[in-house]
Amino acid sequence: MKSIKLIALDMDGTLLNRDLEVSRANREAIHLAQQKGVHVVLSTGRFIASTREYARSLRLTSYLVTSNGAEVWDASGKLWHRRALSSELVEWMYRMGEQYRTRVWGATAERVWDGGAIPGSVHDHKWLKFGFDTEKDDVRNTIWKKLVETGELEVSNSTPTNIEVNAKGVSKAAALETVCRQLNFSMDDVLAVGDSLNDVAMIRSAGIGVAMGNAQERVREAADWVTVTNEEDGVATAIHRWVLGTR
């Protein structure tokens, strides 16, 4: 069995169940992995504040990858890495959201913004991530195509109905490579687990990439192995299979 030194876990749809809780089985598996000296890193599209709350509840002592890799934090709360979007591109995306009448949202270095008028000027903020959400497939596909055509953005999703946008070069995989350099690990030492398109890069880059049983099809295709769903303790199953060797 491959020796895993770091476990990278997506949160929503992966570590968390539908009630946004970490199950007892997942908690116990994470604790056992940490007892073996394995680093456990939350690698999420979430903003740092909510990510840190879960990290504390799990007593994690390693790095946090947030906003799809736009930021990397250490356990002490120190910011190690940040890469923001161009405010000009954010303004363009905001106008596109108005044009197509979609819900738009974003995360700045200071706060999460969920639709409505942008507080102050768009240029007053460091934008980590911008997003669109629509049930209309044709609108979503059109927006996706326009975003990709800029050649200046990373485009992914965290649910089938949304679009998540980061600066070019930003991904969970790139952020995990930064973490691995700090720890003197390689990506071959990593077990990465996720369910959505913003997880594909880290799943492909990791030594072992695991898709959740509830993952989108493209994520399952990218993975080395598919575990059970987030409602069935899929993270615990993967940790026991690939790290603890107990299943």
Q: In the block, which residue shows the tokens 């908690």?
A: 27
Cα distances from 113 to residues 87, 125, 127, in angstroms, run 14, 11, 10
Instruction: Respond yes or no: is residue 10 known to be catalytic.
Output: yes
Give the span between the Cα atoms of 147 and 136, in whole angstroms.
Answer: 17
Cβ count near 246 (within 10 Å): 9
Closest CA to 174 of 61, 14, 43, 34: 43
180 CB-near residues (< 8 Å, 6+ apart): 6, 186, 187, 189, 190
For 61, residues 6+ apart whose C-beta sits below 8 A from its C-beta are 34, 75
- How many Å apart are CA 106 and CA 112, to the nearest integer? 6
Q: Please pick, among 10, 12, 133, 233, the residue that the annotation labels catalytic.
A: 10
Contact 176, 72 (CB under 8 A): no
For the four alpha carbons of 21, 26, 27 and 28, in that order, the dihedral sign comes to positive
Catalytic residues: 10
